[in-house]
Chains A and B, each alone.
Chain A
Amino acid sequence: MSISIRSPRDFCAGLIFLFFGTLAAYIARDYPMGSAVRMGPGYFPYVLGILLALLGVVVCIKSLLMHGERIESASLRALSLVLGAVGAFAGTIEGFGIVIATALLVGIGAAASPESRPREVAVLIAFLLALAVGVFTYGLGLPFRIFPV
């Protein structure tokens, strides 16, 4: 019998768990372990990391033995544009102010949907800009810079 991955979803999930578990245990090794009476900061995360890594291995092995569903294809457009929009907001809010950050966020974000229409997006940006400046900045008094200085 040849070994093949029968449940791709579980196999990938197992790898992720294995990765984070190993990483956590590896980093936690450098923190003082202490003793059972006086636990050091390394003790709890080290144990958790080992457990997580072990579970990752179990999930991986199970995925070789039991059939499971395939991973649905991901929409790279939705993923990259939504996260890109959030990234643009994070990158511009402090240096360039709320107006530019909002326009970028809504503009890039709206393009993530295959149904998006340019004219609608323009109206939406205008509306949300008014909201961000009027309600959030002036109304609620959130400390945003409005325009780049």
Chain B
Amino acid sequence: MTTSTIGPNAADTSSTRQAAGLRQLWRRLRSQPVTLVSTLVLLGIVAVAVLAPLLAPYAPEATDFDHPLSGPTADHPLGSDELGRDVLSQLIYAARTALLVAGGSVLVAMLIGVPLGLVLGYKGGWYDRIGSRGMDIADALPGLMIGFVVIAILGRGMLVLILAIGIIFSMNFARMVRAVTLTERKKLYVDSAHVTGLPTRDILFRQILPNMVGPLAVQGAVFLGNAIKVEAALSFLGLGLPESQPSWGGMLRVAAEHQADRPWMALPPGLAILITVLVLNLLGDGLNDALSGRRPVRKRARSAAPVPPPAPAAVADDARAAVLTVDDLVVVADRPDGSTARLLDRVSLQVRRGEVLGLLGESGSGKSMLAKSILGMLPPNVYAEEGSIRLDGQQLRGLPEREFAKLRGRKLGVVFQNPQGNLSPVHTIGQQLCEALRANNELSRKQARARAAELLELVGVDDASRRLGQYPHQFSGGMAQRVAIAIALAGEPEVLILDEATSALDVTTQSQVLDLVLDLRERFDMAIINITHDLGVAAETCDTVAVLYHGELLEVSEVNALFDDPSHPYTEALLAAHPTAETELDRLPTIADKLTVDGDWIRK
């Protein structure tokens, strides 16, 4: 059993769904222990701040000249400073200052930043050009320094501090709001709102702003933490609040003076800052995860069914033996709620050299999983539990990754769906082709390059040597897919799998790429598995067609037989429901017409 730790499915060890409402959000938050603990701690800190007069044993400015600079004693659990002021009390009251300043400055930042971002993002045009330049310029100044400047201009004090820190952070909020607005503005539901007749103002406030609450909350939490750090830094330098107002930064200032003789004095205020900022950050992160629905799926220990012994040498009663045989394959997936879903249910098929097998199915039929099982590239939490996959007699199910790596490229080749996505945007075509070539053949750099040019010409890319030095974005969709085919051919595989390889292409480009594949089949006698949802593609290219529906293989027939006389009602319905450029009907029959009330198929 192999799982991939790289590839589009690998890094996503979780399931993703947008949180539609508060209900869902709360449910998700409940399942995140770290976030819950952080929230509790934060609430505790807020409680301490609010209840300061009740909790603190002394008033923060109360001096006690009899016990200056004492260590932890019964009178002063955390010690006292040089004027005998109780450290614990100062710590508690400073929580108030910290939260007040942080809250105030984040509020100021939002008041400045949110409208600014909204306007820039929504209006676009010149407003946005100038505004973005302005934000870029603000970037050139470190935040703390802006704080210095504001204090230099306006003097010291609580309000100035709040304003200063607010200004520092306002650009961050503006930038975020602008980005969100730009994305949301392009979304279809804004257009739809326009078409319904909603005025701009409405769209901004009713449609876009609510979508921003989440990111604002996350950003707000994180910046509350930042604000506390900045306030502490400024107070540490003596620029913040006057001495009479307790602050953690101020306490650290005093502690710094006694670094040599009373080193422990730095601990309480420092830890207070650390813990507060930490829980704020964790809360922000947790909110972020809950909003985007990222939940880790717990991995369960699995024991797969025992791998069947290698088949005895097949007696070739056909003229050509099957190069790839799948027998009773079962693929399951672990769901986040603990259940397992069967993605493929006892699927059996085979492909011979020179044959094109079509795998026809709609979304959710499991066709992509079949390809991935053959390649050993199943996502985590998806397992090939039973059955066998044999390539040239070698059993693939249960093969260790190292063995699989040897097969990929050399015996198996794949072309995936997304043309531009299939190629690394920051490497040239030549680099990637040569990479594939050298991974499968012993070639020097020069030899690889020459061979790469040959391959490109083979797949129909003109001016191959020059184009080797180009980047993917300089290729059109059809051309990029040809390059992907070239990469797949680099190791001269016996079996080529096309996973919806032409679905994203225009009709004319699609027919060119498919014709190319058929040419290659003739030339190299390759076995080809063409995975598609398009009946027309199956009709034009396949020798045999296997029909998949919800993980079940409904039928496998020679292509003409399938189209003339399908044996399963689903195939019948599929064929009938397919509007083509040739037929004209009053009403399209639908799949539902073929099902009885209980969901069983109406068989002929």
Are A and B physically bound partners? no
B contacts, CB < 8 Å to A: none
A contacts, CB < 8 Å to B: none
